Amino acid sequence: MKYQITSLAFAIAGGLLAAAPAQADEALAKKHNCVACHQIDKKSVGPSYKDIAKKYKGQDVAAKLAEKVKKGGSGVWGPVPMAPNAAVPDADIKTLVEWVLKM
Amino acid sequence: MKRQTRRTLARALGLAALPFALAAAFAQPTQPGRAPVSEPEIRYQAGGSPLAQEEMHQNIDPKAPPMTKAEFDKGRQIYFERCAGCHGVLRKGATGKPLTPDLTMAKGTEILKVFIKYGSPAGMPNWGTSGELNDAEVDLMARYIQQLPPVPPEWGMAQMKSSWKVIIAPDKRPKKKENNYNIENIFSTTLRDTGEVALIDGDTKQIINIVRTGYAVHISRMSASGRYLFVIGRDAKINMIDLWMEKPDNVAEIRVGLEARSVDTSKYKGYEDKLAIAGAYWPPQYTIMNGDTLEPLKIMATRGMTVGDQEYHPEPRVASIVASHFKPEFVVSVKETGKILMVNYKDLENITVTEIGAAKFLHDGGWDSTKRYFMVAANQSNKVAVIDAKEGKLTKLVDVDKIPHPGRGANFVHPKFGPVWATGHLGSEKIALIGTDPVKHKDQAWKVVQYLEGQGGGNLFIKTHPKSKNLWVDTPLNPDAKIAQSIAVYDINNLDKKPLVLPIAEWAGLSEGAKRVVQPEYNKAGDEVWFAVWSAKNQQSALVVVDDKTRKLKAVIKDPRMITPTGHFNVYNTTHDVY
């Protein structure tokens, strides 16, 4: 009985938190300084996340983009290069790339 | 050694003119929600600071990317030549963002390099792709700004005293005027790059003397009697010139800091010619001096809390100073804290300062026509603060357009709205007319009653005269050469009519060079307007005199000694605050 209540509580909490992951990912983007150059829906120094999602819609590019985030890149969005981010853990990069591509 | 320093400094500052090549840098879209920095503003702020040449204490932070002493020194020099104007000496931010190590280290070298090289839509210039800095320098600067900001030396009484020279003691000076010049119509013209002012006879248009001064004299001010002329260079050197001498020349000098912009003298009845005051950018302080010798008497710091959010600011620069006619007070506007200090000079030992909170990033300003209200621009806040010098109170904060830059502004009687004070803007083409008569035009008082459409942004000065019906507006920092080299003149009686545009630089008949036409200034009679046609150091420059009534060319003043004139002050109009 006790066990059931706990799992019910979990289920409710899970439902309530359904909207949270996007915020968590945005916080992660802030934490790793992505927002210094990128905004969600406006071009700044780098392209907006929505533009990136649009460009790669339907393509299997997650691994390629993760590589770019890690090592930096240039030429796709104009002359301003993407700075390398060697210090960001691979798992975080993966989370962030998936978050961006889903926009 | 001294000569060497001056030359390097001149070269460093000469480079500051280069940002003209940067036009392309700012073509990027602006970012909503954040005030974009206009190109004229960048040009205005990103001029070199004399601090580039100062030895400073270096703290190496073990967590910051390593640098050699030589690299650090080079970084420091580039920082003060290019970056300090916007980001501040201690990198607390002003026009530009704060760049303290806690923030820069979090970004890391690679991201910083992108910003320095390519710029940002928020207004950071693209120093790399514009060719101003090479990749090695970009890398150096990215590492430099992760180090703790080096602190320039302080400049207290001992340093002031050792820089202070009385060249001719008061009792050795003329007892009466010893020349035949009409001294009320002398113009003091800044020769920016040579560190001089030219004293020009307004009647004959002849140069009376070229006087050695500090570097890039920012302003000229007069003693209340109209005898002594005070000029202050960007390097915080003040020169005091006696206009009664057979050949007017320096009688005293002092350095009040390492970088400065403002000087004035006591104007209140009973205190004429008694005291002088100067405000510094670094150290952040103002100094009250003896009015006939420049002996430093009292140094007051401006470090303290900002208006509004009430946070400590370590380097609030003194932006401008005027002298009250209503009280024995200096009106000191402090940039970063956004406060106006009414400094009562009656008793320097027991000094009273009334602190008036206005808005951040105060800049320059002038009196209304009654000289009761001081109108000062808070230029990054896009406001003009109105200070009642009689009551010692903030009367109103008036919203204006982007980055107002009044100089001292212009007073005239609007045909519909009565007395107004006008300012142009660095960041827009608009000229704001603000009502200044709370008695007979109460509904219009302290409101923008009309905006005039100017030629474009990049305005520095605007001028009229009580005897004139013309309003003259310059645009020297506009990226379009045609606009930068011409002047717009409005008919005060018919302000809805488009202005007449006069090709002043063309009238000067100079050869090539990136010329700019700057600072209209009236003669004493109010029937001539003078303009500086400012060209590069190695090019010919000139002054152009226009007949106010006919708006036609009256005279061109050229002289091989007239190098980089950037503005001028008429003795009578400056003494009596006629503008």
The closest CB to that of A37, out of B29, B32, B111, belongs to: B111
CB pairs under 8 A between A and B: 36
- Taking 50 as the threshold, does the pLDDT of residue A102 lie above it? yes
Model pLDDT, residue B29: 36
d(CA B510, CA B211): 24
Lowest mean pLDDT among B5-14, B116-125, B274-283: B5-14
ipTM above threshold 0.90 = no
**Surface-to-core class of residue B321, CB atoms within 10 Å of its CB (0-12 exposed, 13-18 middle, 19+ buried):** buried
- Per-residue pLDDT band at A22 (split at 50, 70, 90): low
Given a contact cutoff of 8 angstroms between Cβ atoms, the answer to whether B50 and B144 are in contact is no
A95 pLDDT higher than 90: yes
Q: Give strand pairing partners of B287.
A: B278, B299
Region of A57 (left: φ > 0; alpha: ψ -120 to 50; beta: rest) is beta
How large is the average pLDDT for residues B131-144? Answer: 93
Can you read off the two tokens belonging to residue A41?
């829906």
Give the length of chain B.
579
**Do residues B470 and B529 make contact, with C-beta atoms less than 8 angstroms apart?**
yes
Residue identified by tokens 């920016």 is B192
Interval A44-58: pLDDT, tens: 889 999 999 999 999
- For position B85, what pLDDT does the model report? 81
CB B414 within 8 A of CB B432: no
Of B7-21, B217-231, B377-391, B487-501, minimum mean pLDDT range: B7-21
Contact B497, B544 (CB under 8 A): no
Strand partners, B145: none
Write phi, then psi, for B46 (nearest 5 degrees). Answer: -85, 15
Q: Minimal Cα–Cα distance from A92 to chain B, Å?
A: 17
The per-residue pLDDT for B147 is: 93
Give yes or no: B325 in active site: no
Region B384-396: mean pLDDT is 97
Q: What is the structure's pLDDT at B18?
A: 33
- pLDDT at position A12 over 80: no
Question: Would you state the pLDDT for residue B8?
Answer: 40
Q: Does the distance separating the beta carbons of A83 and B111 come in below 8 Å?
A: yes
SS3 state at B63: coil
Checking if the pLDDT of B410 tops 80, the result is yes
**Mean predicted lDDT score pLDDT of chain B:** 90
Chain B stretch 537-566, residues whose beta carbon is closer than 8 A to a beta carbon of chain A = none
The answer to whether B363 is a known catalytic residue is yes
Convert the pLDDT of each residue in B166-213 to its tens digit.
Answer: 999 999 999 999 999 999 999 999 999 899 999 999 999 999 999 999
* Known active-site residue B86: yes
- Catalytic status, residue B425: no
pLDDT at B34 over 80: no
Q: What percent of chain B has pLDDT over 90?
A: 78
Asked if pLDDT for residue B37 goes beyond 80, the answer is no
Q: How far is A80 from chain B (nearest CA, A)?
A: 6
Summarised one tens digit per residue, pLDDT across range B512-526 is 777 899 999 999 999
- Please answer yes or no on whether B113 and A44 come within 8 Å at the CB atom: no
Structure tokens that stand for B507 in this block = 């009238």
Per-residue pLDDT at B32 exceeds 80: no
Q: Which residue has the higher pLDDT, B554 or B47?
A: B554
Check residue B114 and give its pLDDT: 93
Report pLDDT for B241: 98
Mean pLDDT of B141-147: 95
Task: Classify residue A17 by its DSSP letter.
Answer: G
Can the peptide bond before residue B283 be classed as cis, meaning omega within 30 degrees of 0?
A: yes
How many CA atoms within 13 Å lie on the side-chain side of B164? 18
Residues of A in contact with B29 (CB under 8 A): 43
pLDDT of the residue at B456: 92
Say if CB B303 and CB B284 are below 8 A apart.
Answer: yes
Please compute the mean of the pLDDT values over residues B43-69 and round it to a whole number.
Answer: 76
Helices (DSSP H) in A1-103: which residue ranges?
Answer: 2-16, 20-31, 49-55, 62-71, 90-101
Check pLDDT > 50 for residue B16.
no
CB contact under 8 A, B121 and A80: no
- Please say if the pLDDT value at position B302 is more than 60: yes
Report pLDDT for B38.
Answer: 67
Contact B323, B267 (CB under 8 A): yes
Catalytic residue status for B57: no
Residues of B in contact with A45 (CB under 8 A): 114-115, 118, 120-121
Supply the pLDDT for residue B189.
Answer: 97
- Residues in A closer than 8 angstroms to B115, CB to CB, are 36, 45
Neighbours of B57 (CB within 10 A): 9
Nearest chain A Cα to B128, which residue? A80
For residue B574, give the nearest of B227, B204, B174, B212 by alpha carbon.
B227
Q: Residue B167's CB: how many other CB atoms inside 10 A?
A: 13
Most confident of B49-53, B81-85, B120-124, B255-259: B255-259
Contact between B532 and B193 (Cβ < 8 Å):
no
Q: What is the mean pLDDT of residues B383-397?
A: 97
Please tell me if residue B451 touches chain A, with a CB cutoff of 8 Å: no
Residue B572 binned pLDDT confidence (cut-offs 50, 70, 90): very high
**Averaged over B94-120, what is the pLDDT?**
90
pLDDT at B10: 37
- Checking if the pLDDT of A8 tops 70, the result is no
Cβ–Cβ gap B108/A42 under 8 Å? no
In this prediction, residue B46 carries a pLDDT of: 62
How high does pLDDT run on average in chain A?
Answer: 82
Smallest Cα distance from B263 to chain A, Å: 41
pLDDT of residue A42: 86
**Catalytically annotated residue among B67, B87, B218, B313:** B87
Average pLDDT (B106-131) is 86
Q: Does residue B495 register a pLDDT over 70?
A: yes
If you average pLDDT over residues B371-392, what whole number do you get?
A: 95
pLDDT at B413: 98
pLDDT surpassing 60 at residue B22: no
Could you tell me the sign of the dihedral formed by the alpha carbons of B319, B321, B327, B328, in that order? Answer: positive
> Minimum mean pLDDT among B22-36, B131-145, B358-372, B479-493: which range?
B22-36
pLDDT of residue B81: 84
Contact (CB, 8 A) for B578 and B466: yes
Q: Which range (B15-24, B32-41, B134-143, B223-232) has the least confidence? A: B15-24
Within 10 A of B416 (CB to CB), how many other CB atoms are there? 11
Q: Tell me the C-alpha distance between B469 and A47, whole Å.
A: 52
Query: Which residues on chain B are in Cβ contact (under 8 Å) with A37?
Result: 111, 114
Put simply, whether B97 touches A (Cβ < 8 Å) is: no
Q: Kindly name the residue from B218, B313, B325, B363 that is annotated as catalytic.
A: B363
Cβ density class B25-37: b for 16+ within 10 Å, e for less: bbebeebeeebbb
Closest CA of chain A from B84, distance in Å: 21
Question: Cα–chain-centroid distance for residue B321?
Answer: 11
Q: Does B129 touch chain A (CB under 8 A)?
A: yes
pLDDT (mean) for B113-124: 85
How much is the pLDDT for B126?
Answer: 84
Give me the residue from A42, A43, A83 closest to B114, CB to CB: A83
Residue A82 DSSP one-character state: B
3-state SS, residue B514: coil
If you average pLDDT over residues B282-310, what whole number do you get? 97
Cα distance from B376 to chain A (closest Cα, Å)? 34
**Annotated catalytic residue, options B218, B313, B325, B405:** B405
Residue-level pLDDT at B26 = 34
For residue B173, the one-letter residue type is R
pLDDT band of residue B9 (cuts 50, 70, 90) is: very low
Are residues B469 and B549 in contact, defined by beta-carbon separation less than 8 angstroms? no
Q: What is the CA angle B2-B3-B4, rounded to 5?
A: 90
